[in-house]
Structure 1
């Protein structure tokens, strides 16, 4: 009888849990992605070792941590945000601001959030979107001691600096949200940085959260190198401006993920011929996704069957003493800040 042998164990960073059924993903415009181009983000538990987390981040360009922040701390921000916006008529009558259910009798475009292609025309709605960035509960969250301590440990920094200009964004069902981009487009001045995306509330893969193009850091870097070459005759101000003649009017690579997917796989295919997928997740309050400045990502069209509004924030971190894009330290987000 042959001796029993034990299979070689799979390295921890290659262990992946993926739900069986793939989500249907599309962006602001265009068709759904083909299912061959869709996958799931790799989940990392909050008790994973820092060494393993760093290995995953370096390999994948992102790190999706489940339950990093206490759930109720996140939901408190969600509740206060929608209490703040309630006068706009964004919420379904009789529902709780903590749930954030959209009033589907309203025009979704009227209730675009920050990054929704174009801001609402209504001046009062714009004022509320701006002032939401200074709500005490949100400002306190940005200083969350456990969250900030984790970032310092993960990055090996003694002290960290968060950019003052954060992006607190909601995305109503069937509305418009951010297109596909990589973050370096908007922060070309200064050194590289760490982005954290925090969903304020539960958000299914088809509910307006972020999707990431698999193994796309090299693509983002190639695009940036191409931009740098073509921008040789730009002024310094033009070179760091995300809204330049080589980009869409809002700095995005595209608002049609199906078209962008075809273009990238044609122009930046790899030697194995394996197709890069767009990775999404069923996010829950307390989750955080960290990614590098070159990972290509964008918002999924919100088609949540329960009518939940996606709310999240984009945060950028540097080591204290590092070279920072000072344009993003002038003030909180303003509709006319040119960034």
Structure 2
């Protein structure tokens, strides 16, 4: 849905809500729409390679089976509920992901780091043929999936610095292997603008690539900034956003700057997403990323 149409819809019967990230309101003059790969290019490897070099990302609509995505979404919230994490609102189906429960942080951590993240169901989802075989075809060889796979949920109303993913590019975190590693960001369920999906800083990979090559870039330890409006002004670029649907997939390079929007969903629905990383197996691998993700792993 175009940005202006979303604002009009969200404004019906209430105050117009602007897009925000970590509490910062994005400047509408520096907003654009993520461009989906057209059908004519979906099976043209050379066209996709040209596109990802130019744009830094590939937005692949309905690359995955929506039913499989929604099934994993249900699995995540049901497992968390079974562990007593209290993520979802009492009286609502856990699989719907409606926020409003009293979260037990210890139970949530147990569910995540001893059950869901290292579990076979998550691994099977991340290695399903629609993902695994696509990367093998696109990269033109045997691939390696980094074991450190991240899954995140965000509830509506959470705001302030540190709530949404701050602006960064992935090479900051995964520098000890090839810089040709590719990330796949997967919304686990529908993720309209109001639910706080990923946003990309248009053309930022070209500036980062130049600065990396010249050794002139100040390398942040974790993120560049939470202030997305200021970063867009500094780069003279737009933040690209999209209404994501279950089944969509975004593949991006390690150099493009990206961040997440705040979840302001009026119906209380949590955003759930995962980001995973594939590369060619014959290229250097960052060994620090070969253990299961944990929020205290220092990465």
Give the structure 2 partner of residue 196 of structure 1.
184
Question: Which of the residues 205, 226, 238 maps onto 1:255?
Answer: 226
Q: Which of 139, 149, 154 does residue 123 from structure 2 map onto?
A: 139
Q: Which residue of the other structure, out of 169, 174, 182, is the alignment partner of 2:169?
A: 182
TM-score (normalised: structure 1): 0.76
Runs of 4+ in 1 over 6 A off after TM superposition: none
Partner of 2:140: 156
State which structure, 1 or 2, has the greater radius of gyration over its C-alpha atoms.
1
Q: Which residue is equivalent to 1:44?
A: 37
**Distance across 1 between alignment mates of 2:106 and 2:191:** 29
Q: Find the aligned partners of 1:305 and 1:56 in 2 and give their Cα distance.
A: 35
Question: Does the CA contact (< 8 Å) of 1:25 and 1:38 recur in 2?
Answer: no
1:75 pairs with 70, 74, 80, which one? 70
What is the deviation of 1:219? 2.7
- Contact 2:208 / 2:217 at 8 angstroms: preserved in 1? no
Aligned length: 279
Residues 327, 57 of structure 1: alpha-carbon distance in 2 compared, 3 angstrom cutoff: same
| Equivalence for 2:15 | none
Give the conservation status (yes or no) of the 8 Å contact 1:26–1:258.
no
| Unaligned ranges ≥5, structure 1 | 1-16, 112-119, 232-245, 266-274
Q: Which residue of 1 aligns with 2:53?
A: 58
Q: Which residue in the other structure is 1:171 paired with?
A: 154
Structure 2 length-normalised TM = 0.86
Aligned to 1:237: none
2:188 & 2:39 partners in 1: Cα distance? 17
1:199-253 superposed Cα distances (whole Å, 9 cap, x missing partner): 1100012311100001110232355457x5588xxxxxxxxxxxxxx636xx011
Matched, 1:90 2:121: no
Distance 2:86 2:212 in 1: 41
| Residue 292 (structure 1) aligns with | 253
* Structure 2: runs of 5+ lacking an equivalent: 8-17
Aligned to 2:112: 129
What is the root-mean-square deviation of aligned Cα atoms in Å?
Answer: 2.3
